[in-house]
Amino acid sequence: MRLEGFGEVSVLTIDRPGARNAIARPTMGELAAALDEVARSSARVLVVTGGGERVFVSGGDLKELGEVRTLEAATAMAKQMRSVLDQLATLPIPVIAAVNGDAYGGGAEVAVACDIRVAVDDVQCAFNQISLGIMPAWGGIERLTALVGRGQALMLMTAGRSITAERALQIGLFDEIVGRSQFHEHWLEFAGQIARAPKEALAGIKAAQHAAFPVAHPDLADAAIDSFAHTWVADAHWEMADEAERRRRSARIGN
């Protein structure tokens, strides 16, 4: 995890190359601490991105989270990360997701917790938790539905289908796509353009927008987390997770 400052722009990089930038339980605490630091700083815009070029965030770290086996532990894990992404969504300054690589599962939930999504034009995005027999639990259901509408959101989440950056742009999941060679320069310039405005004006715009279109729904959290926790501890989840791991190993051997 890296938090860097470029003038009035803060850049938070989720950089776990050995785990495809996946979210583990320690990562959740690091994210919360970094967001607290940004909130205390003079930053006028935050950019969230992934390390490297292949993956933005690949979701939850199934190897590490595989130790979570009880209903109580699954509830606590989901509650912690949902709280972190609500903290991200309600940060009083604009937040840009610079989607530098594929965003899957929980990684897609991180992307929709940001205010604006700028992506490389060759990436894929999927709310594919269903492929592991579980459901989005970090606020992504509500935020995705607000962005793309009920039907499109249900199609993505219940089929677990992966879509291209172009399709994500068409349905409103991404706000802008850019060629890879121009990507870093583009989002940094865009963030700098936003950061030229007074912080008070930016905070006022976000507050008014949030009042009209809430991006966090704490009243829905308990029911969603309870549903997720029950799917997490179910036999179907672990069977599907084991099968997914077998396929990944087979693919590595084949290459």
pLDDT by residue (tens digit) across 8-50? 999 999 999 999 999 999 999 999 999 999 999 999 999 999 9
**pLDDT at 66 > cutoff 90:** no
- 186-208 mean pLDDT: 98
DSSP state for residue 163 in the 8-state scheme: E
Taking all residues of the chain, what is their mean pLDDT, rounded to a whole number?
Answer: 95
Hey, what's the torsion of the CAs at 17, 24, 106, 243, to 10 degrees? 80
The tokens describing 209, both together, are 């927008």
Rounded CA gap, 201 and 174, in Å? Answer: 25
Cβ within 8 Å of residue 103, ≥6 positions away: 55, 56, 57, 110, 111, 123, 124, 125, 126
- 229-255 mean pLDDT: 85
Output the pLDDT for position 246.
86
- 118-126 mean pLDDT: 98
Q: Which residue has the tokens 């549903």?
A: 227
Domains of the chain are: 2-180 (3.90.226.10)
Cα dist from 155 to 46, 114, 175, whole Å: 30, 22, 20
> How sure is the predictor about 244, in pLDDT bands with cuts at 50, 70 and 90?
confident
Listed residue (126, 129, 160, 157) closest to 141, CA to CA: 157
Q: Which residue has the tokens 């601490």?
A: 33
> How sure is the predictor about 252, in pLDDT bands with cuts at 50, 70 and 90?
low
**What is the CA angle 156-30-91, rounded to 5?**
65
Task: Report yes or no: 85 and 142 within 8 Å, Cβ to Cβ.
Answer: no
pLDDT tens digit sequence for 200-216:
999 999 999 999 999 99
Rounded CA gap, 148 and 170, in Å? Answer: 9
- 110-130 mean pLDDT: 98
**pLDDT at 255 > cutoff 90:** no
> DSSP H helical segments within 90-163, as ranges?
106-113, 140-148, 150-159
Rounded CA gap, 138 and 87, in Å? Answer: 11
Task: Report yes or no: 132 and 247 within 8 Å, Cβ to Cβ.
Answer: no
- 71-97 mean pLDDT: 97
Output the pLDDT for position 34.
98
**pLDDT at 83 > cutoff 80:** yes
Task: Report yes or no: 34 and 3 within 8 Å, Cβ to Cβ.
Answer: yes
pTM exceeds cut of 0.85: yes
**What secondary structure does DSSP assign to 165-202, as a single string?**
HHHHHHHTS-SEEE-HHHHHHHHHHHHHHHHTS-HHHH
Phi and psi dihedrals of 14, rounded to 5? -85, 105
Distance from CA of residue 237 to its chain's centroid?
21
